[in-house]
Amino acid sequence: MSLATHTLASIDLAAELLRNSRRAVALTGAGISTPSGIPDFRSEGTGLWSRDEPLEVASLSTFRTHPELFFKWFRGLAGQIYQAEPNLAHLTLAQWESAGLLQAVITQNIDRLHQKAGSKHVVEMHGTLSTLSCTQCFHQYSYQDYLQAFVMDGIMPLCPACGAVLKPDVILFGEQLPQKAWYEAQRLSRTCDLMLVAGSSLEVLPAAGLPMQAVDRGAHLVIINQTPTYLDVRADVVIPGDVAEIIPLIGEKVLHVRY
């Protein structure tokens, strides 16, 4: 891969900042998972919201009144997530954590690719696909018991205890963020000395405000994304591009390994 001189210099600077940090944190968005075959939500022409109206298919009110509409829309995405594998960006972040270079990953994604890659401290801001909860008796169940049947055969997950619909524990429009995850994300953002934003356009609040909390408290900021963000002007390093290509190149500089 041939990269411009200024991009190579930015990669070197990002690697130096990471080597010198003691409390680095990553914030990841949909752009880290699109190379694994999972579509993002907002890209023009290819994003999920270019084809569907989010409030009609992915809102809490829709789920409560017409859960079949949600599951009909969600089945395709769940299938892509079910089949997806981590890419080199996910794997590199997991290696950084294992090497003591990264405290945690705060993610806006629900695909669990960070966990598949080996990351241990993952804060899922928008909920998780690992569990489903009953909308009536509130029992919680592992996704493994239901996801395959749903993806393969379209079987709507129902509670074995009371028969009500099971809701995947992901955050829908009109639903509050998981309180524990939000507090942990804020704590990490306010105490880190380096935040790496990877594959996020920083357009979705409140997660988009986390890097500002870090910068306002003196942390360095590295942004890797295909498109500009509102915080590019405050960042130490901005690298436009595919995170699945850029992050491993930073990793090569830091850990002296080849991917």
Which residue among the candidates 6, 66, 121, 126 is catalytic per the annotation? 126
> Other C-beta atoms within 10 Å of 161: how many?
12
How is residue 258 written in tokens? 């080849």
> Other C-beta atoms within 10 Å of 205: how many?
8
Strands (E), the chain: 24-28, 104-107, 122-124, 127-134, 140-142, 166-170, 194-198, 220-225, 237-240
User: Is residue 49 within 8 Å of residue 164, measured between CB atoms?
Assistant: no
Please state, in angstroms and rounded to a whole number, the distance separating the CA atoms of residues 237 and 234: 9
Q: Is 126 annotated in the active site?
A: yes
How is residue 184 written in tokens? 């942990």
Residues linked to residue 209 through DSSP beta bridges, in sequence order: none
Amino acid in the structure at residue 165? V
Amino acid in the structure at residue 186? Q
Please state, in angstroms and rounded to a whole number, the distance separating the CA atoms of residues 119 and 2: 29
User: Is residue 221 within 8 Å of residue 235, measured between CB atoms?
Assistant: yes
CA angle 84, 225, 180 (to 5 degrees): 65
Q: Which residues are catalytic?
A: 126
